Amino acid sequence: MTDTLLVTGSSRGIGRAIALRLARDGFDIVVHCRSRRDAAEQVADEVRALGRDARVLCFDVTDRDAARAALEADMEVHGAYHGVVCNAGITADGAFPALTDDDWDSVIDTGLNGFYNVVKPITMPMVRRRRPGRIVVMSSVSGIMGNRGQVNYSAAKAGLIGAVKALAVELAKRRITVNAVAPGLIDTDMTEGLASEEALKAIPMRRSGRAEEVAATVSFLCSEDAGYITRQVIAVNGGLC
């Protein structure tokens, strides 16, 4: 039986590239989105075209009850997941004095609480499966070094690193690895217009990254070959930090 991985926020951007790369590397995929079901269905079709099974789940990761209900219903029918790539995230940038309460709450809710709301319901079923498993969490260069105008986002992404490191210790004996990937500037909807000459100058490789380059690292961490890698933060950032 083929192992199934859930990829949150895989209707577009980095998540879509991860879903397709994981499918290419032999996994069945649960494609997830918040609201763009048509885009998610299209990604699921692309996964199927690669010869793997795919299904779509849509829920807001900030809604704890909705996340639990959707995941439990899916696992009831299809069984526990091999793992999850917690990729859904948003930005709401602004200099700290101009940051609104909503900018703070929405970014923490999506990035950090979204991790809890998704990983909590699926972890015990993964443990009970008594097989190796994978949890990969999308952090960011902002969570490692902090970024001007992103106090909220840097806090969410740094918080995820702490959560990954603690959960990795708890799940290590169960052969479930937990790692974070910390991309730098990657070309997606989220970063549209941000790859200015000045921004690129700060990157030693002098270019932004491609979603596929992040996906390759995530897929390696999900592979059997990465079975002894846990509690790590892997940067994919062109040498930014």
By DSSP bridging, strand 133-138 and strand 4-7 are unpaired
Distance CA 27, CA 223 (A): 10
**Count of C-beta atoms within a 10 Å radius of residue 68:** 16
Nearer to ligand NDP, 87 or 152 (CB): 87
Within 74-155, strands assigned E span 83-86, 133-138
Q: Does 13 bind ligand NDP (CB under 6 A)?
A: yes
Identify the residue among 2, 36, 162, 227 touching ligand NDP (CB under 6 A): 36
Nearer to ligand NDP, 73 or 172 (CB): 73
Residues 6+ apart with CB under 8 A from 118: 6, 8, 61, 67, 71, 84, 86, 88
Q: Does 88 bind ligand NDP (CB under 6 A)?
A: yes
Identify the residue among 80, 90, 218, 221 touching ligand NDP (CB under 6 A): 90
Q: What angle do CA 194, 149, 157 make, to 5 degrees?
A: 90
Q: How far is the CA of 111 from the CAs of 60, 90, 108, 124, 194, in angstroms?
A: 11, 7, 5, 21, 20
Contact 32, 8 (CB under 8 A): yes
Q: Does 150 bind ligand NDP (CB under 6 A)?
A: no
Site for ligand NDP in 158-217 (CB under 6 A): 183, 185-186, 188-191
Q: What is the smallest separation between the CB atom of 199 and ligand NDP, expressed in angstroms?
A: 10
Q: How many residues does the chain have?
A: 241
Binding mask 44-83 for ligand NDP (x = CB under 6 A): ----------------xxx---------------------
Distance CA 160, CA 172 (A): 18
Q: What is the smallest separation between the CB atom of 228 and ligand NDP, expressed in angstroms?
A: 25
Listed residue (25, 23, 27) closest to 2, CA to CA: 27
Nearer to ligand NDP, 110 or 217 (CB): 110
Q: Does 138 bind ligand NDP (CB under 6 A)?
A: yes
Identify the residue among 11, 123, 150, 179 touching ligand NDP (CB under 6 A): 11
Nearer to ligand NDP, 61 or 71 (CB): 61
């996994």: which residue's tokens?
27
Q: Which residue is catalytic, options 81, 116, 153, 228? A: 153
Is position 116 annotated as part of the catalytic site?
no
DSSP helix/strand/coil, 84: strand
- Residues in touch with ligand NDP (CB under 6 A): 9, 11-15, 33-36, 39, 60-62, 87-90, 110, 138, 140, 183, 185-186, 188-191
Catalytic residue numbers, as ranges: 153
